[in-house]
Homo-oligomer: A and B are copies of this chain.
Amino acid sequence: MDQDAIAQRISASFALQPAMSLIGARLERVARGSVEIHLPFAAAITQQHGFLHAGLLATALDSACGYAALTTMPADAGVMTIEFKVNLLAPGAGDWFRLLGKVRKSGRTIVFSEGEAFAVSAGGEKLIATMTATMMCIQNRGNIRN
C-alpha cells in the first residue's frame, strides 16, 4: 500500500473505535510503521490523585502501537493485541499527551511495537511512560479486519 492508502486505512479504523472518542483521543499522524495520537487532558480521564489514569494512557498507547503494526500488514488483515507492558515514569500531568507507536520488528504473524507517551505543557514535553507490545496479524477471520 502507498502512504495515502495506509493513512486512509488507519484513519477509517480509528473512526470505528468508540473507545478513542470516549477518552477524547485523536489520530494525528500516520506513516508506514508509525502512528501518533494526541490526547487532551480532561478531568474525566483522571484517577483519584487528579492525574491521567495509567490505564487510559495505556489505551491510547495500545491504539498507537496496534495501528503502527497494522500499517505493515496485508490489506485483508486485522490486528489484535497479544500483550503489552507499560512502565510509568512520571505522573500524567500536563495540558495534553502525545502518544507515539513505532514498529520495531514486523514479521508475518507477529509484529513488535514500542510506544512512548509525552506530557506536553507550556514548559515543554516530558516522557511519562513507555509501552512494549506484541501484535498479531489476523487473516481469514471474516470479522477481524483492520
Question: Which residues of A come within 8 Å of B, CB atoms?
Answer: 13-14, 16-19, 22-23, 43-50, 53-56, 58-63, 78, 80-91, 104-105, 109-110, 112, 114, 127, 130, 132, 134, 136, 143-146
Contact = CB atoms under 8 A, between A and B. Distances in A.
A134 B132 contact: no
A60 B55 contact: yes
B53 A61 contact: no
Contact of A88 (B55, B80, B91, B127): B80
A84 B85 contact: yes
Contacts of A87: 82-83, 112, 132, 134
A48 B13 contact: yes
A53 B62 contact: yes
A43 B55 contact: no
Contacts of A60: 55
Contacts of A144: 49
Contacts of A48: 13-14, 16-17, 146
